[in-house]
Amino acid sequence: MSLIKSISGIRGTIGGKTGENLTPLDTVKFAAAYGTWLKNSLDKENLKVVVGRDARISGKMIQELTMNTLTGLGIDVIDLGLSTTPTVEIAVPLEKADGGIILTASHNPKEWNALKLLNSKGEFLDGEEGAKILSIAEAEDFNFTEVDELGEIIFKENYMDVHINEVLKLNLVEVDKIKKAGFKVVVDGVNSTGGIVIPALLKKLGVEVVELYCEPNGHFPHNPEPLKEHLQDISDLVVKEKADMGLVVDPDVDRLAIIDENGQMFGEEYTLVACADYVLSKTPGDTVSNLSSSRALSDVTKKHNGKYLASAVGEVNVVKLMKDSNAIIGGEGNGGIIYPESHYGRDSLVGVALFLSLLAERKQKVSELRKEYPAYFMSKNKIQLTPDLDVDGILKAVEQRHRDEQVSTVDGVKIDFPENWVHLRKSNTEPIIRIYTEAKSQQEADDLARKMIAEIKSIIA
């Protein structure tokens, strides 16, 4: 069992001892720290926070604790109930709220939950803001309000419908073309809120929907991370139903994976590539993803005469670079689409609408579309080190050895070779170096990873 405190929030397993797991006391302490930070940083009265949750079994308990803690600080709460991460993100500015809390552990198993924290723009907090909240929580420096000044909880249902309508209003979402295409789509909602909102969006787009694991009961039928090894059921059902594609989201609906008509993975990395291809074809501009994402996005961006930029890993870093460069689309290679025309957050609803618009316009099968993009293969490994080793020194030595190549040290060390790349990142919590590689075949990617592991071992020796 575990409790992980970070600048982006608090994440842990339900039950167990206080301070070691996400217990009710830990939930209250962290919610109080966030509310206290808001009160300290915003010189105003009548603060308001939006709160929503995915369908995890522990979600209702954690949400009640969170909301009542905020009201105890004199903060009003907009309760969205069952929701999604991007829904809460768009609700914060729409409700003119001062912040937001999403109760979800994203792709982690059902025993996990988390409080993810947003600012008044509906965007994740940056490192400095998160550090202040951790400091307040550590000091337990709270000042709760008197009885006559308690906040109130206002329940607003159907906000996912508001979210759907916001997506349908986007200029590049071709509602009529999608309706005319007559798509049939299988949806795996991993028994969370994606099972509500994705079918509802598709039906508004005139799509025939086959639902799989769309009951929002929090009992995940498979590992909720939308990776190939967890998605055999939907792959089989797409073929059985003769569907045009399958769509898979994680429990909080910020990651989108696509299955083609043959039951094969389109590739999580290529969700962003395809959506960017469509957006760039209509509105030329620049793109951003993190350093561990596929080179295919860079290739597609260059095809449209745009500039590709890479950020450090982490959504907040991608968003910052997108803003700094005025990028028109970006995201992460885990199927996360960030489209500023909508909002600065990963959003599977936006991804679905843009992808279907592309497919309807080109009148292609999903497998045909996939063949149009460069074929890259990734390998993800790690090397365990002893605690006494200087990880930063090891990475610096790797950087020096490859100084004649294109090297980035924005986040660890990334070496771009002409035909492939390797990205080395250290863990913040344990003596590990994570090794990501990408090449034009799986064999090449695996070989490059083995070569880098051998190189690191030679440096240590």
DSSP-assigned letters across all residues of 79-92:
EEEE--HHHHHHHH
Co-location of 178 and 227 in the same domain: yes
Of 344, 371, 398, the residue at which a domain comes to its end is 371
Over residues 24-39, the mean pLDDT reads 97
Per-residue confidence (pLDDT) for residue 251, from 0 to 100: 97
Co-location of 151 and 58 in the same domain: yes
Residue 1 has pLDDT above 60, yes or no: no
- Exposed e or buried b per residue across 151-183, where buried means at least 16 C-beta atoms within 10 angstroms of its C-beta: beeeeeeebbebbbebbeebebbbbebbeebeb
Q: What's the CATH number where 296 sits?
A: 3.40.120.10
Co-location of 121 and 243 in the same domain: no
Per-residue confidence (pLDDT) for residue 263, from 0 to 100: 98
Over residues 95-115, the mean pLDDT reads 95
Co-location of 110 and 148 in the same domain: yes
Over residues 94-116, the mean pLDDT reads 96
Per-residue confidence (pLDDT) for residue 199, from 0 to 100: 98
Residues sharing a CB contact under 8 Å with residue 97, sequence separation 6 or more, in sequence order: 48, 49, 50, 78, 91, 120
Residue 388 has pLDDT above 90, yes or no: no
Over residues 438-453, the mean pLDDT reads 96
% of residues, the chain, pLDDT over 70: 99
- The mean-pLDDT minimum among 162-171, 259-268, 425-434 falls in 425-434
Co-location of 421 and 288 in the same domain: no
Per-residue confidence (pLDDT) for residue 6, from 0 to 100: 74
Per-residue confidence (pLDDT) for residue 7, from 0 to 100: 65
pLDDT digits (tens, 9 = 90+) for 48-103: 999 999 999 999 999 999 999 999 999 999 999 999 999 999 999 999 999 999 99
> What distances in angstroms separate CA 374 from CA 295, 297, 370, one per listed residue?
9, 9, 9
The mean pLDDT value of the chain amounts to 95
Over residues 229-248, the mean pLDDT reads 97
Residue 46 backbone class (left: φ over 0; alpha: ψ -120 to 50; beta: rest): left
Co-location of 206 and 138 in the same domain: no
**What does the block give as tokens for 44?**
């105003």
Per-residue confidence (pLDDT) for residue 427, from 0 to 100: 79
Residue 451 has pLDDT above 80, yes or no: yes
Residue 429 has pLDDT above 70, yes or no: no
Residue 302 has pLDDT above 70, yes or no: yes
Domain count, the chain: 3
Q: How far apart are the first and last CA of the chain?
A: 35
Residue 37 has pLDDT above 90, yes or no: yes
> Which element (helix H / strand E) includes 280?
helix 268-282
Q: What's the CATH number where 381 sits?
A: 3.30.310.50
Strand order in the sheet with 76-82: 3-6, 9-13, 112-118, 99-103, 48-53, 76-82, 153-155
Tell me if residue 70 falls in helix, strand or coil: helix
Per-residue confidence (pLDDT) for residue 287, from 0 to 100: 98
The span from the CA of 252 to the CA of 110, in Å, is 12
Task: Check 58, 83, 106, 192 and give the catalytic one.
Answer: 106
Per-residue confidence (pLDDT) for residue 259, from 0 to 100: 98
Residue 461 has pLDDT above 90, yes or no: no
Co-location of 331 and 434 in the same domain: no
Residue 133 has pLDDT above 80, yes or no: yes
Residue 448 has pLDDT above 90, yes or no: yes
Over residues 398-426, the mean pLDDT reads 95
Three state DSSP letters for 298-354: HHHHHHCCCCEEEECCCHHHHHHHHHHHCCCEEEECCCEEEECCCECCCCHHHHHHH
Co-location of 404 and 326 in the same domain: no
Over residues 420-427, the mean pLDDT reads 93
* Residue-range definition of the domain harbouring residue 366: 163-371
- The mean-pLDDT minimum among 127-141, 199-213, 421-435 falls in 421-435
> What distances in angstroms separate CA 186 from CA 245, 248, 454, one per listed residue?
7, 9, 44
Co-location of 268 and 384 in the same domain: no
Within 157-244, strands assigned E span 184-188, 208-212
Residues sharing a CB contact under 8 Å with residue 293, sequence separation 6 or more, in sequence order: 269, 272, 310, 331, 332, 333
pLDDT digits (tens, 9 = 90+) for 264-295: 999 999 999 999 999 999 999 999 999 999 99
Of 323, 347, 371, the residue at which a domain comes to its end is 371
Co-location of 111 and 11 in the same domain: yes
Co-location of 332 and 408 in the same domain: no
Per-residue confidence (pLDDT) for residue 385, from 0 to 100: 86
Of 310, 342, 371, the residue at which a domain comes to its end is 371
Co-location of 310 and 175 in the same domain: yes
Over residues 211-228, the mean pLDDT reads 95
Over residues 444-461, the mean pLDDT reads 93
Over residues 4-20, the mean pLDDT reads 86
Catalytic (active site) residue 106: yes
Over residues 330-348, the mean pLDDT reads 96
pTM here is 0.94
